[in-house]
Chain A
Amino acid sequence: MKIKYSLITRRNFLNGLLGGWAAALMASFISPALKFVFPPYREPDEVILPWSEYKDMSPNSTKIFPWGSKPGIFKQNDDGTHTAFVGVCTHLDCNVTYIPDQRKFFCACHDGWYDENGIQIAGPPPTPMRKLEITIEGEDLIIRKPGVKVE
């Protein structure tokens, strides 16, 4: 079908073309700037710790290790097994502490509580604390993000 009058004037078309091109150009300038301003948080895939410092812990006690820029909590359980957590509250990222007497993790920021397995039991935390995988290879205690394969 041939229409009598063009729906868009030549000037509008060219202005749109020029404007769109200018917007795309600006976007190409701004995107690297945004990348620079917001660096991604790089969580470690694994940390390697000296096993000798951890193997003689008493039952129901914890030790802090650096997990990137957050604290990790290494816990010696009663039955001789170990558990490792990312030691921050799942509510708003505050560092949590383990209270051995009560067998609970506690976050002081908003009164959040987790049981000794890191399951939320009281207060605002929405999800359990993040667990990490533990492997012991000779002298090394290796703590990994679950599901990550490191060569």
Chain B
Amino acid sequence: MSLRKLMDWFDNRLGISDVLSFMTKKDIPQHKHSIWYYTGSSILLFFCIQVVTGFMLALYYRPTLEEANASVARIMTEVPMGWLVRSLHSWSASFMIIFVFVHLLSIWITKAYRPPREITWMTGVFLLVVSLAFGFTGYLLPWDDLSLSATKVGTDIPRAIPVMGAWVTKFLRGGEDVTGDTLTRFFSIHISILPVFAFLFLAFHLFLIQKHGVSYPLELEEKKERVKTLPFWPNFVYREMVVWLVLIGILCTVVIFLPPSLDTQADLMAPAPEGVKPEWYFLFLFQTLKIFPSQMLIVSGETMAILLILLGFMLFFFLPLFDTKPTEWRGKLITFSAYIVVLYAVIMSVWSLL
């Protein structure tokens, strides 16, 4: 009885029961494309794992030139379960990026960004950028040969952008070159600046999804009334939990059998090691930059490549604004272009590994 009173006290002040009844009334349509509804919460699962393991790694990691590599080595060898936590953080990052890609592609292909969901899509693209920035800054933190060289290449790329590029490179590196200052800077970006953006955009993204409800596929839009639905709570959430368990199982398997390596401490004076590669999700961009000739028309090939990549990104970001006539040829072309982009990314990534 007193527990009930306590619950009522909180409910009168927080309105928990309103949220709960909203969740029970929220319906998830069931159809042949329903599987894509699970990708969002899978991203959230991996994001939560990143937050928790990230907090934990920050207890031991030291972001300085002298100690970064040694502190990661210590996490891997001395700290109890340290290898597990680092391996989880590293693998869960990749899993999250995979699901971010799948999530965005599924929305692109099913055109779930139709009005009024354009801004939901744009916040999603922001979250993609934030996720990639997390990956890029995190890659440097173990401070070994490979991560140093990859960061040198990565931070040099903006330099090819006319006018403001050199300034961007300087900002990222905290100076002209990659040094200990870059490491400290990347650490700060990784653990304080990006999380703030991630949480803000995530909250906004989730709010918009609640506001507009789940999107129906194009072909079912007309006959919404006849589509079978599932209550969000508890039916759909339980199904999501099953998916999470399977994903955690796969994650733990690779985490245990394929823990990330740690090379010798980066030496700023040493020549770059062979086979410098970024994380897998940057490979297609890496290869794109490689295949451009050194000089094109009046600008350098690199500048041309970067301008094209930026143009492609802008098109991607504003996609819902172009894709206004989904059933006409333009809409079909946009759907088709999603498959072309995937094909391009896969071919380029494989090529870069050869």
Total A-B contacts with CB atoms under 8 angstroms apart: 23
Let me know if B82 is at the binding interface, CB within 8 A: yes
What chain B residues lie within 8 Å of A37 (beta carbons)? 56, 59
Let me know if B79 is at the binding interface, CB within 8 A: yes
What chain A residues lie within 8 Å of B52 (beta carbons)? 33
Cβ contacts A32-45/B at 8 Å (1 or 0 each): 11011101100000
Interface positions of B (Cβ within 8 A of A): 52, 56, 59, 78-82, 84-85
Cα distance A40–B80 in the bound complex, in angstroms: 8
How many chain A residues have a CB neighbour from B under 8 Å? 7
What chain A residues lie within 8 Å of B84 (beta carbons)? 32, 36
What chain B residues lie within 8 Å of A33 (beta carbons)? 52, 56, 81, 85
Cα distance A37–B82 in the bound complex, in angstroms: 9
Cα distance A37–B58 in the bound complex, in angstroms: 11
A14 to chain B, nearest CB (A): 12
Q: Tell me the nearest residue of chain A to B53, going by C-beta.
A: A33
Cβ contacts A19-56/B at 8 Å (1 or 0 each): 00000000000001101110110000000000000000
What chain B residues lie within 8 Å of A39 (beta carbons)? 78-80
Cα distance A37–B79 in the bound complex, in angstroms: 9
B288 to chain A, nearest CB (A): 40
Cα distance A64–B52 in the bound complex, in angstroms: 41
Additional A-B contacts beyond A33-B56, A36-B85 (17; CB < 8 A): A32-B81, A32-B84, A32-B85, A33-B81, A33-B85, A35-B81, A36-B56, A36-B59, A36-B79, A36-B81, A36-B82, A36-B84, A37-B56, A37-B59, A39-B78, A39-B79, A40-B80
Cα distance A18–B41 in the bound complex, in angstroms: 21
Cα distance A59–B81 in the bound complex, in angstroms: 48
B240 to chain A, nearest CB (A): 14
What chain A residues lie within 8 Å of B80 (beta carbons)? 35-36, 39-40
What chain A residues lie within 8 Å of B56 (beta carbons)? 33, 36-37
What chain A residues lie within 8 Å of B78 (beta carbons)? 39
